[in-house]
Protein backbone atom coordinates (compact mmCIF):
# COMPACT_ATOMS: atom_id res chain seq x y z
CA UNK A 1 0.00 0.00 0.00
CA UNK A 2 1.07 3.57 -0.64
CA UNK A 3 0.78 6.00 2.26
CA UNK A 4 -2.36 7.43 0.69
CA UNK A 5 -4.01 4.02 0.23
CA UNK A 6 -3.38 3.12 3.87
CA UNK A 7 -6.39 5.29 4.73
CA UNK A 8 -9.59 3.60 3.53
CA UNK A 9 -11.74 5.73 1.27
CA UNK A 10 -14.90 3.95 2.40
CA UNK A 11 -15.61 2.35 5.78
CA UNK A 12 -18.78 0.35 6.40
CA UNK A 13 -19.88 -0.50 9.95
CA UNK A 14 -22.32 -3.01 11.42
CA UNK A 15 -23.24 -1.25 14.65
CA UNK A 16 -23.93 -4.29 16.82
CA UNK A 17 -24.53 -4.71 20.53
CA UNK A 18 -26.81 -1.85 21.61
CA UNK A 19 -29.36 -4.20 23.20
CA UNK A 20 -26.76 -6.31 25.01
CA UNK A 21 -25.03 -3.17 26.28
CA UNK A 22 -28.34 -2.02 27.78
CA UNK A 23 -29.19 -5.44 29.23
CA UNK A 24 -25.85 -5.63 31.05
CA UNK A 25 -26.83 -2.39 32.78
CA UNK A 26 -30.46 -3.37 33.47
CA UNK A 27 -31.63 -0.63 31.12
CA UNK A 28 -34.37 -0.66 28.48
CA UNK A 29 -33.08 -1.55 25.01
CA UNK A 30 -33.85 1.93 23.70
CA UNK A 31 -31.23 3.30 26.10
CA UNK A 32 -28.68 1.18 24.28
CA UNK A 33 -29.76 2.70 20.99
CA UNK A 34 -29.53 6.20 22.48
CA UNK A 35 -26.00 5.47 23.67
CA UNK A 36 -25.23 4.06 20.24
CA UNK A 37 -26.25 7.37 18.66
CA UNK A 38 -23.38 9.02 20.54
CA UNK A 39 -21.00 6.54 18.94
CA UNK A 40 -22.39 7.48 15.53
CA UNK A 41 -21.59 11.15 16.20
CA UNK A 42 -18.11 10.23 17.39
CA UNK A 43 -17.28 8.04 14.39
CA UNK A 44 -18.58 10.54 11.84
CA UNK A 45 -16.10 13.01 13.35
CA UNK A 46 -13.35 10.36 13.50
CA UNK A 47 -13.82 9.66 9.77
CA UNK A 48 -13.44 13.34 9.04
CA UNK A 49 -10.26 13.53 11.12
CA UNK A 50 -8.78 10.44 9.48
CA UNK A 51 -9.60 11.41 5.90
CA UNK A 52 -12.24 8.72 5.30
CA UNK A 53 -14.67 10.12 2.73
CA UNK A 54 -17.49 7.55 2.81
CA UNK A 55 -19.07 6.05 5.93
CA UNK A 56 -21.90 3.52 5.61
CA UNK A 57 -23.75 2.59 8.79
CA UNK A 58 -26.04 -0.43 9.04
CA UNK A 59 -28.75 1.29 11.03
CA UNK A 60 -31.86 -0.85 10.45
CA UNK A 61 -32.16 -4.07 8.48
CA UNK A 62 -35.21 -5.53 6.78
CA UNK A 63 -35.05 -8.29 9.40
CA UNK A 64 -35.34 -5.71 12.20
CA UNK A 65 -39.03 -5.17 11.39
CA UNK A 66 -39.81 -8.30 13.47
CA UNK A 67 -38.72 -6.51 16.64
CA UNK A 68 -41.32 -5.25 19.14
CA UNK A 69 -43.32 -2.30 17.81
CA UNK A 70 -42.34 -0.17 20.79
CA UNK A 71 -38.65 -0.66 20.06
CA UNK A 72 -39.12 0.13 16.36
CA UNK A 73 -41.07 3.28 17.23
CA UNK A 74 -38.31 4.32 19.62
CA UNK A 75 -35.66 3.76 16.97
CA UNK A 76 -37.55 5.82 14.42
CA UNK A 77 -38.03 8.64 16.91
CA UNK A 78 -34.32 8.50 17.73
CA UNK A 79 -33.46 8.74 14.03
CA UNK A 80 -35.57 11.87 13.59
CA UNK A 81 -34.03 13.40 16.71
CA UNK A 82 -30.55 12.60 15.41
CA UNK A 83 -31.28 14.26 12.07
CA UNK A 84 -32.63 17.43 13.66
CA UNK A 85 -29.89 17.66 16.25
CA UNK A 86 -26.96 16.90 13.96
CA UNK A 87 -28.00 18.45 10.66
CA UNK A 88 -25.97 21.58 11.45
CA UNK A 89 -22.82 19.45 11.71
CA UNK A 90 -23.42 18.08 8.20
CA UNK A 91 -23.76 21.61 6.81
CA UNK A 92 -20.78 22.93 8.75
CA UNK A 93 -18.52 20.19 7.40
CA UNK A 94 -20.15 19.91 3.95
CA UNK A 95 -21.10 16.27 4.46
CA UNK A 96 -23.81 14.70 2.33
CA UNK A 97 -26.44 12.46 3.92
CA UNK A 98 -27.59 9.49 1.89
CA UNK A 99 -29.82 6.45 2.45
CA UNK A 100 -29.68 2.97 0.94
CA UNK A 101 -32.49 0.48 1.42
CA UNK A 102 -36.23 0.37 0.98
CA UNK A 103 -36.88 3.80 2.44
CA UNK A 104 -40.52 3.56 1.40
CA UNK A 105 -41.00 1.04 4.23
CA UNK A 106 -40.21 3.67 6.88
CA UNK A 107 -42.91 5.75 8.61
CA UNK A 108 -43.99 8.77 6.56
CA UNK A 109 -42.68 11.31 9.07
CA UNK A 110 -39.26 9.63 9.05
CA UNK A 111 -39.20 9.59 5.24
CA UNK A 112 -40.09 13.28 5.21
CA UNK A 113 -37.26 14.21 7.58
CA UNK A 114 -34.73 12.05 5.76
CA UNK A 115 -35.72 13.44 2.36
CA UNK A 116 -35.44 16.98 3.67
CA UNK A 117 -31.87 16.52 4.95
CA UNK A 118 -30.88 14.47 1.90
CA UNK A 119 -32.10 17.26 -0.35
CA UNK A 120 -30.45 20.06 1.63
CA UNK A 121 -27.04 18.31 1.73
CA UNK A 122 -27.09 16.86 -1.80
CA UNK A 123 -24.46 19.28 -3.17
CA UNK A 124 -21.81 18.49 -0.52
CA UNK A 125 -18.88 16.25 -1.37
CA UNK A 126 -16.32 16.56 1.44
CA UNK A 127 -17.84 13.51 3.09
CA UNK A 128 -20.75 11.09 2.68
CA UNK A 129 -22.67 9.53 5.57
CA UNK A 130 -24.83 6.70 4.26
CA UNK A 131 -27.51 5.16 6.47
CA UNK A 132 -28.61 1.65 5.52
CA UNK A 133 -32.29 1.69 6.52
CA UNK A 134 -34.77 -1.13 5.91
CA UNK A 135 -31.79 -2.59 4.11
CA UNK A 136 -30.58 -6.05 3.24
CA UNK A 137 -27.97 -7.11 0.71
CA UNK A 138 -30.30 -9.72 -0.80
CA UNK A 139 -33.10 -7.14 -1.14
CA UNK A 140 -30.68 -4.76 -2.88
CA UNK A 141 -29.66 -7.43 -5.38
CA UNK A 142 -33.28 -8.46 -5.88
CA UNK A 143 -34.33 -4.87 -6.58
CA UNK A 144 -31.44 -4.48 -9.01
CA UNK A 145 -32.33 -7.69 -10.88
CA UNK A 146 -35.95 -6.59 -11.12
CA UNK A 147 -34.88 -3.27 -12.65
CA UNK A 148 -32.67 -5.04 -15.19
CA UNK A 149 -35.55 -7.38 -16.04
CA UNK A 150 -37.79 -4.38 -16.70
CA UNK A 151 -35.12 -2.86 -18.95
CA UNK A 152 -34.77 -6.14 -20.87
CA UNK A 153 -38.54 -6.31 -21.25
CA UNK A 154 -38.66 -2.77 -22.61
CA UNK A 155 -35.74 -3.37 -24.97
CA UNK A 156 -33.36 -0.98 -23.18
CA UNK A 157 -31.01 -3.81 -22.20
CA UNK A 158 -30.06 -7.15 -23.73
CA UNK A 159 -29.15 -10.14 -21.49
CA UNK A 160 -25.76 -10.54 -23.19
CA UNK A 161 -24.94 -6.93 -22.29
CA UNK A 162 -25.12 -7.64 -18.55
CA UNK A 163 -21.71 -7.47 -16.88
CA UNK A 164 -20.50 -7.01 -13.32
CA UNK A 165 -20.46 -3.30 -14.06
CA UNK A 166 -24.09 -3.43 -15.17
CA UNK A 167 -25.10 -5.08 -11.92
CA UNK A 168 -23.16 -2.49 -9.91
CA UNK A 169 -24.94 0.28 -11.78
CA UNK A 170 -28.30 -1.11 -10.61
CA UNK A 171 -27.48 -1.12 -6.89
CA UNK A 172 -28.81 1.51 -4.47
CA UNK A 173 -25.75 3.81 -4.59
CA UNK A 174 -23.89 2.95 -7.80
CA UNK A 175 -21.55 5.95 -7.61
CA UNK A 176 -20.22 5.03 -4.16
CA UNK A 177 -16.96 3.01 -4.20
CA UNK A 178 -16.99 -0.40 -2.55
CA UNK A 179 -15.96 -0.39 1.11
CA UNK A 180 -12.26 -0.84 1.72
CA UNK A 181 -12.90 -1.79 5.34
CA UNK A 182 -15.91 -3.32 7.09
CA UNK A 183 -16.06 -3.11 10.89
CA UNK A 184 -18.45 -5.06 13.11
CA UNK A 185 -18.70 -4.50 16.85
CA UNK A 186 -19.83 -6.75 19.73
CA UNK A 187 -17.61 -9.73 18.89
CA UNK A 188 -19.92 -11.25 16.27
CA UNK A 189 -18.04 -12.36 13.15
CA UNK A 190 -20.45 -12.41 10.23
CA UNK A 191 -21.69 -9.88 7.68
CA UNK A 192 -25.43 -10.42 8.30
CA UNK A 193 -26.76 -9.64 4.83
CA UNK A 194 -24.85 -6.35 4.62
CA UNK A 195 -23.52 -5.06 1.28
CA UNK A 196 -23.19 -8.57 -0.12
CA UNK A 197 -22.01 -7.43 -3.55
CA UNK A 198 -19.83 -4.56 -2.37
CA UNK A 199 -17.89 -6.42 0.35
CA UNK A 200 -16.31 -8.87 -2.11
CA UNK A 201 -12.78 -7.51 -1.59
CA UNK A 202 -13.22 -5.55 1.62
CA UNK A 203 -10.99 -6.07 4.63
CA UNK A 204 -13.06 -7.33 7.58
CA UNK A 205 -12.37 -6.21 11.14
CA UNK A 206 -14.23 -7.51 14.19
CA UNK A 207 -14.17 -5.59 17.46
CA UNK A 208 -15.33 -7.11 20.75
CA UNK A 209 -16.74 -3.98 22.37
CA UNK A 210 -20.43 -3.18 22.00
CA UNK A 211 -21.33 -0.33 19.67
CA UNK A 212 -22.19 2.17 22.47
CA UNK A 213 -18.61 1.76 23.71
CA UNK A 214 -16.97 2.16 20.30
CA UNK A 215 -15.03 5.40 20.16
CA UNK A 216 -12.27 7.07 18.15
CA UNK A 217 -9.50 5.01 19.78
CA UNK A 218 -11.23 1.80 18.64
CA UNK A 219 -11.70 3.29 15.19
CA UNK A 220 -8.02 4.25 14.96
CA UNK A 221 -7.06 0.71 15.96
CA UNK A 222 -9.21 -0.67 13.12
CA UNK A 223 -7.58 1.74 10.67
CA UNK A 224 -4.14 0.69 11.88
CA UNK A 225 -4.96 -2.98 11.32
CA UNK A 226 -6.29 -2.13 7.86
CA UNK A 227 -3.07 -0.24 7.03
CA UNK A 228 -1.00 -3.26 8.07
CA UNK A 229 -2.74 -5.64 5.67
CA UNK A 230 -1.68 -6.34 2.09
CA UNK A 231 -4.54 -6.05 -0.38
CA UNK A 232 -3.53 -8.02 -3.46
CA UNK A 233 -6.90 -8.41 -5.26
CA UNK A 234 -5.78 -11.74 -6.68
CA UNK A 235 -2.28 -10.56 -7.59
CA UNK A 236 0.96 -11.99 -6.17
CA UNK A 237 3.13 -10.38 -3.49
Catalytic positions, please?
16, 64
Residue by residue, what is the 3-state secondary structure of the chain? CCCHHHCCCEEEEECCCHHHHHHHCCCCHHHHHHHHHHHHHHHHHHHHHHCCCEEEEEEEEHHHHHCCHHHHHHHHHHHHHHHHHHHHHHHHCCEEEEEECCHHHCCHHHHHHHHHHHHHCCCCCCEEEEEEEEECHHHHHHHHHHHHHHHHHHCCCCHHHCCHHHHHHCCCCCCCCCCCEEEECCCCCCCCCCCCCHHHHCEEEECCCCHHHCCHHHHHHHHHHHHHCCCCCCCCC
Amino acid sequence: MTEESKVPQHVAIIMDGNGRWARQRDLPRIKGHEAGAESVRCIIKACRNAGVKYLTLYAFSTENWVRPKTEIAGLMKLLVTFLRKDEHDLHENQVRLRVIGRMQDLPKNVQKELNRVIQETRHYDKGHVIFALSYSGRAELTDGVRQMAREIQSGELRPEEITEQTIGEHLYAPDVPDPDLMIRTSGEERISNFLLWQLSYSELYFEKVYWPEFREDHFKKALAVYASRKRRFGDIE
